[in-house]
C-alpha cells in the first residue's frame, strides 16, 4: 500500500532538506530565502504534488477567504444573474462563495447565519432577501461586514446596492405618457414589499400626478408575488374593472408576460390594443412575443458591485457606503401610441 495521504508542508520540507519555515516562506513571502533554495523547494513541491491546506491556513490567519450569500430562492433568473455577478467579483479576488437558499424562511435564515458563523466567513451578502433588525443584530455579533443587493434593509445604515425603484417606475410611466397614454394601469408586487412593491407604486403615482392624471386605486392590481401566474390573475381583475386601459406597467418581467398572456387570451393584441412595460430586464423580456419593453436593472453588475463593496469592507475593516445602480428603459416592441385616441373618434 503506497502512501495515500497527501503530502503536507512537513513532507515537502523533509524531502527538500529544509525547514517547514522555509517552505512556508517561499510559498507566501516573497523574501527570506536564496534564489537557489526557492527553486529547489518549488521543484520538490511540484514533484510531490503538494497543495497547501487552506483550512490550516485559515485557522492561523483567522480568515476563510469565503463569503456567504443568502438568497430567498435561487431558481429564478434574477437571483441567477446577481449570483453570476457576485461569482465573477469573488473569483477575481481569489475568494470563494457559499450559497444559502433561505426560502424566505426566518428559521432557515437564522440556521444559515449560524452555519456561516461557524464556517468563519469573512462577510455576508443579503441578496433579494429582506434584512430584518433581528438579522442585523445577529450579524453584528458575528463581527463581519454585510452588504445588501437588491434587498430592503430595516437598518438603513447597512450598505445597499440597488436601483432607484421609485424613479425607475416613474420613468416607465412617463414613457407611456409621452406616447400619448392616459389610461394607465399597473400590476404591482405586494405593496408591503418595501423594495420592489411600495416604491414602484409610488413612482407610478408621482408620474400620474405630474401629468395631471387622476390616480384611481383600482387601476393598480396585484396578487401574491412577482410571478407569471400573479400577472395573469392581476390582469383579469384589472381588465374586468377597466377594460379601457391602453397601457399597463408591471413590476416584473414575469408579471408583464403573465399579463400579456392573459390579454392575448382575451383577444387583445399587443401593442395595438394594449401597451405593456415590464421590470427587471431579464432575458425573458427579449423572448416575449412581442419583445417586451422593460426597465432593466443590470443585475449582473449589481451583484458584482455589491461583492466588491463587501470585499473592500473586509480588507479595510471599514463599512462602505451603498450604491445606486442606474436603471435603463429598454425599448422593444410592446409599447405603441394608443390607437383609439380621442382625436380618432
Partner DNA sequence: TTGAAAGCGTTACCAG
Partner DNA sequence: CTGGTAACGCTTTCAA
**Contact set with its own copies (CB under 8 A):** 4, 6, 49, 51-56, 58-59, 64, 66, 73-77, 79-81, 83-84, 87-88, 91, 94, 96-101, 108, 114-115, 117-120, 141, 143, 228, 254, 257-258, 260-261, 264, 283-284, 286-287, 289, 300
**18 is in the binding site of which of its own copies, DNA, none (Cβ under 5 to 8 A by kind)?**
DNA
Which of 118, 345 has the CB closer to DNA? Answer: 118
Which residue do the cell numbers 408591471 mark?
A: 250
Going through the chain in order, the beta strands assigned E by DSSP cover 66-71, 96-101, 123-127, 146-149, 160-163, 184-188, 220-222, 247-250, 275-280, 293-296, 323-325, 328-330
Does position 24 interact with DNA (CB under 7 A)? The reply is: yes
* Distance from C-alpha of 244 to C-alpha of 320, rounded to nearest angstrom: 48
Residue 261 binding target from its own copies, DNA, none, CB below 5 to 8 Å by type: its own copies
Q: How many CB atoms are closer than 10 A to CB 235?
A: 30
- Give the nearer residue to DNA in terms of CB position, either 121 or 149: 121
Single out the residue of 318, 327, 323 nearest to residue 305, CA to CA.
323
b/e per residue 43-69 (b: at least 16 CB within 10 A): ebbeeeebeeeeeeebeeeeebbbbbb
The C-alpha cell of 288 is what?
416575449
**Residue 286 binds which one of DNA, its own copies, none, with CB within 5 to 8 A depending on kind?**
its own copies
The candidate with the shortest Cα–Cα distance to 280, out of 262, 299, 264, is: 299
CB-wise, 2 or 34, nearer to its own copies? 2
> Which residue among 48, 52, 117, 132 contacts DNA (CB under 7 A)?
52
Cα angle value 111/117/120 (rounded, 5°): 145
Which CB sits closer to its own copies, 103 or 216? 103
Comparing CB distances to its own copies, the nearer of 94 and 156 is 94
The verdict on 344 binding DNA (CB under 7 A) reads no
| Stretch of 33-41, 95-103, 172-180, 263-271 contacting DNA, by CB under 7 A | 33-41
- CA 63 to mean position of chain CA atoms: 25
Which of 35/214 has CB closer to DNA? 35
- The entry of DNA, its own copies, none near residue 28 (CB within 5 to 8 angstroms by kind) is DNA
- φ/ψ (deg, to 5) at 58: -60, -35
Q: Which of 25, 200, 298, 323 binds DNA (CB under 7 A)?
A: 25
Interacting residues toward DNA by CB under 7 A: 5, 8-10, 17-22, 24-25, 27-29, 31-34, 36-37, 50-53, 56-57, 59-62
Amino acid at each position: 500500500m503506497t502512501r495515500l495521504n497527501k503530502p503536507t508542508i512537513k513532507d515537502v520540507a523533509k524531502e527538500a532538506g529544509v525547514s517547514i519555515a522555509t517552505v512556508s516562506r517561499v510559498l507566501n513571502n516573497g523574501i527570506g530565502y536564496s534564489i537557489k533554495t526557492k527553486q529547489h523547494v518549488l521543484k520538490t513541491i511540484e514533484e510531490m504534488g503538494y497543495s497547501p491546506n487552506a483550512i490550516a491556513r485559515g485557522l492561523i490567519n483567522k480568515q476563510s477567504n469565503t463569503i456567504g450569500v443568502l438568497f430567498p430562492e435561487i431558481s429564478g433568473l434574477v437571483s441567477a444573474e446577481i449570483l453570476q455577478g457576485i461569482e465573477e467579483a469573488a473569483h477575481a479576488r481569489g475568494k470563494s462563495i457559499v450559497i444559502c437558499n433561505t426560502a424566505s424562511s426566518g428559521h432557515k435564515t437564522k440556521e444559515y447565519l449560524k452555519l456561516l458563523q461557524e464556517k468563519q466567513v469573512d462577510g455576508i451578502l443579503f441578496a433579494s432577501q429582506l434584512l430584518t433588525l433581528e438579522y442585523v443584530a445577529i450579524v453584528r455579533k458575528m463581527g463581519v461586514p454585510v452588504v445588501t443587493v437588491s434587498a430592503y434593509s430595516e437598518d438603513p445604515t447597512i450598505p445597499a446596492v440597488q436601483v432607484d425603484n421609485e424613479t425607475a417606475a416613474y420613468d416607465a410611466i412617463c414613457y407611456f405618457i409621452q406616447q400619448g397614454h392616459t389610461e394607465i394601469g399597473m400590476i404591482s408586487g405586494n405593496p408591503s414589499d418595501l423594495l420592489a412593491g411600495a416604491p414602484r407604486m409610488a413612482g407610478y403615482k408621482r408620474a400620474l400626478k405630474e401629468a395631471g392624471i387622476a390616480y384611481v386605486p383600482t387601476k393598480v392590481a396585484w396578487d401574491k408575488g412577482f410571478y407569471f401566474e400573479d400577472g395573469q390573475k392581476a390582469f383579469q381583475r384589472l381588465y374586468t374593472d377597466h377594460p379601457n386601459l391602453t397601457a399597463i406597467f408591471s413590476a416584473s418581467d414575469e408579471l408583464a408576460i403573465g399579463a400579456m398572456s392573459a390579454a392575448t387570451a382575451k383577444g387583445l393584441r399587443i401593442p395595438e390594443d394594449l401597451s405593456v412595460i415590464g421590470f427587471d430586464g431579464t432575458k425573458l423580456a427579449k423572448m416575449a412575443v412581442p419583445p417586451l419593453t422593460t426597465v432593466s436593472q443590470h443585475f449582473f453588475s449589481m451583484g458584482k458591485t455589491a461583492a466588491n463593496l463587501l470585499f473592500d469592507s473586509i480588507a479595510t475593516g471599514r463599512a462602505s457606503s451603498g450604491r445606486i445602480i442606474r436603471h435603463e428603459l429598454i425599448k422593444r416592441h410592446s409599447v405603441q401610441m394608443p390607437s383609439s385616441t380621442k382625436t380618432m373618434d
